[in-house]
Amino acid sequence: MEKVSASSLLDRFWNGVLPVDPKLIAEGLGMKVVPLTDADVKKGLSGALHWHTPAGATQPQLYCRYNALTEGRERQRFTIAHEIGHYASGHMADGRTLFRDTTETFTGRVHQPEEVEANRFAAELLMPESMVNSAITQHGVKTVQDLASRFGVSASAMRWRLVNLGLLSST
């Protein structure tokens, strides 16, 4: 896939109602969205993106996997958006067939360019700048927690998004 922006995917696959549903966007891109296996979760995986040819199929299909066993709904949504970010950012274009993301990937302590880019993409997909601004200025949402609830993300993810948009001080 050619590199495509989060806003472009929102224009194509989002109905404008919050929270953004990353699963519908992934499915719109032709991905099969399924939970990780118990064994993968026990290995510390939080998400994965990989090509797989199911039994009886002639073509491989792109699978987006997330941890439904031990992670909350907000985290699952961010993981799916992050995996979409790998795909939409062209990280699979060089023949790469697999991304495995551990819990550490989403903490902000990982500085690998592809992971940083996928995290940024996920934030842009789940918390579109125009909608964040509208929630604050037109709808009077005042707290990070209230914004997080409106967008279906964790308070931590919303805090980082507000900092990156210049709407909240990082100190």
CATH classification of the domain holding 102: 1.10.10
Tell whether 93 is covered by a domain: yes
> For residues 7 and 124, what is the distance between their CA atoms, to the nearest angstrom?
7
Q: Are both 120 and 161 inside the same structural domain?
A: no
> For residues 154 and 147, what is the distance between their CA atoms, to the nearest angstrom?
9
Q: Are both 60 and 87 inside the same structural domain?
A: yes
Looking only at the bridges linking them, the beta strands covering 45-52 and 98-102 are: antiparallel
> For residues 87 and 91, what is the distance between their CA atoms, to the nearest angstrom?
6
Range in 26-30, 32-36, 105-109, 155-159 the model is least confident about: 105-109
pLDDT tens digits for 79-125?
999 999 999 998 887 666 666 766 555 555 557 888 899 999 999 99
Q: Are both 52 and 118 inside the same structural domain?
A: yes
Q: What is the pTM of this model?
A: 0.90
* Cα 168 from chain centre: 22
Between 82 and 44, the more confident residue is: 82
Range in 52-56, 109-113, 158-162, 167-171 the model is least confident about: 109-113
Mean pLDDT score of the chain: 91
Identity of residue 168: L
Question: Residue 128's closest CA among 106, 103, 150?
Answer: 150
Position 153 confidence tier, pLDDT thresholds 50, 70, 90: very high
* pLDDT exceeds cutoff 70 at 164: yes
Count of domains observed in the chain: 2
Tell whether 61 is covered by a domain: yes
Q: Are 168 and 162 in contact (CB under 8 A)?
A: yes
Residue-level pLDDT at 111: 73
Tell whether 106 is covered by a domain: yes
Q: Are both 32 and 111 inside the same structural domain?
A: yes
What mean pLDDT comes out for the span 122-137? Answer: 97
* Domain coverage including residue 137: 128-170
Q: Are both 164 and 91 inside the same structural domain?
A: no
Residue with tokens 């922006």: 5
CB contact set of 14 (below 8 Å; sequence gap of 6+): 20, 21, 24, 25
Q: Are both 80 and 160 inside the same structural domain?
A: no
